[in-house]
A = this chain, B = another copy of it.
């Protein structure tokens, strides 16, 4: 069985996860690590038996089959364009870019790219089970969706400032979920938000709490709840209402332990954040990238999906700014 050599661009938190998943996949091996912070690159490379390199060197190396783009967001699109020009398959972290205009300009160049966009939640076993049951008609025909997506605690304000804002940084996952589940394009979007969690977020021109509603041509409705702070861990839930009932997938606890005492039964903590909740999803993403490299699959999430999710995020931002729905 042939092994594919992949290079990692970006040795931060998410890059290290991808490196570990490459290491434990039987058909992948990590060849290079690229990061402007050489200490980060060296640490990841050493653990994986890979070499530290520049992006140019990586792309010039014909033995490299694929590139994982896990750099800072502002580098994503340029990396993708360069990697595609060099004939590499690409696994790019979300979002592809923070500017819809830039993505639109890049569309032609990336039209035939083997580009897999890492909307990890599609690979979460809980949400995947929900979608499979929906497709099997377990609750009849879909009518509406409720997506709840709250982070445990707000990020540092430095991050907020470069994040692109709640819709493009955080809710973009939920927009992708909505697109994945609704079975129809979104035709209109309405969003309200406020900075209730941290005044500094408001001063930075962003929001930390939002309610967004999406509509499809046939009248299907999807409401999204977002907050930068749940107070109880990672809050990632979906409810799908159909003509014969409802499907729901919910949060994951750290263990099944319960304490039954005088104030009532208490379950264990919820998993705190994405590294725990989506660990299986990250591994499944990498297995899919291996399938793409081996020619067994085409990317399940491509450039158009990355663009469409960003388009919803931008529309949500406009709706918030203008105080009225935005037609897509």
Contact = CB atoms under 8 A, between A and B. Distances in A.
Interface of A: 24, 26, 47, 125-126, 129-130, 133, 138-140, 143-144, 146, 148, 150, 188, 190, 192-197, 209-211, 213, 215, 218-223, 225, 227, 229-233, 235, 241-270, 323-325
A241 B152 CA distance: 12
Given A190-B190, A219-B196, A245 B267 contact: no
20 contacts: A26-B47, A138-B261, A139-B231, A143-B196, A146-B146, A190-B213, A196-B220, A211-B213, A213-B223, A227-B241, A231-B244, A246-B260, A246-B261, A249-B255, A253-B265, A262-B269, A265-B266, A265-B267, A266-B267, A323-B325
Given A24-B24, A129-B255, 14 more contacts: A125-B255, A138-B259, A144-B209, A190-B325, A194-B215, A223-B225, A232-B265, A245-B261, A248-B257, A249-B255, A253-B265, A262-B269, A264-B270, A266-B266
What is the count of identical protomers in the complex?
Answer: 4
Contact of A195 (B133, B196, B219): B219
A24 B262 CA distance: 33
A67 B117 CA distance: 44
A261 B244 contact: yes
A263 B256 contact: no
A215 B192 contact: yes
Given A231-B262, A264-B232, A257 B130 contact: yes
What 9 A-B pairs have minimum CB-CB distances, sorted nearest first?
Answer: A194-B219, A245-B261, A231-B245, A129-B257, A266-B266, A246-B260, A250-B256, A232-B260, A129-B255
A311 B213 CA distance: 22
Contacts of A24: 24
Given A143-B196, A192-B190, A249-B257, A232 B262 contact: yes
Contacts of A263: 266, 269
A144 to B, nearest CB: 6
